[in-house]
Amino acid sequence: MARRLFGNQLWKNFKSFKFRSLIIKNFVLIFLVVMVPILTITYTVQKKYNQSVIDEIETANYNSVRRVKETVDRVFNESTRLAAYLSISRNYELYFEASESFVNTYDFF
């Protein structure tokens, strides 16, 4: 019982000391004055950095898609040009003529 009273009394003294202490008040004040701006700056910089990374990824993806589109367009244009050239040229008519013996060569059924 005496130990319990001593513990309660010690806790009451600590609580009253904590609220009246200039050291604790100054520590909390300095901590808030230093940490709030640091946390605010850190949050702002992190948010801006994330947005710039997202913008950079979007730009890189857009450039890659544009290069692929240009390549595919170039292939289609080249194949169209080649098909037109082959259809006009007399040198390749032999390959476009289908003879009965040639068709039956690949008859698997």
Residue 108 covered by a domain: no
Contact of 78 with 84, CB cutoff 8 Å: no
Residue 107 covered by a domain: no
Residue 26 covered by a domain: yes
Residue 103 covered by a domain: no
Residue 75 covered by a domain: yes
Question: How many independent structural domains does the chain possess?
Answer: 1
Sign of CA dihedral 35, 38, 40, 42: negative
Q: How open is the CA angle 105-108-109, to the nearest 5 degrees? A: 130
List, for residues 4-52, the tens digit of each pLDDT value: 656 677 677 666 665 566 777 788 888 899 999 999 999 999 999 999 9
**Domain boundaries, position 12:** 7-94
Residue 57 covered by a domain: yes
Q: What is the pTM of this model?
A: 0.47
List, for residues 39-91, the tens digit of each pLDDT value: 999 999 999 999 999 999 999 999 999 999 999 999 999 999 988 887 777 77
Residue 43 covered by a domain: yes
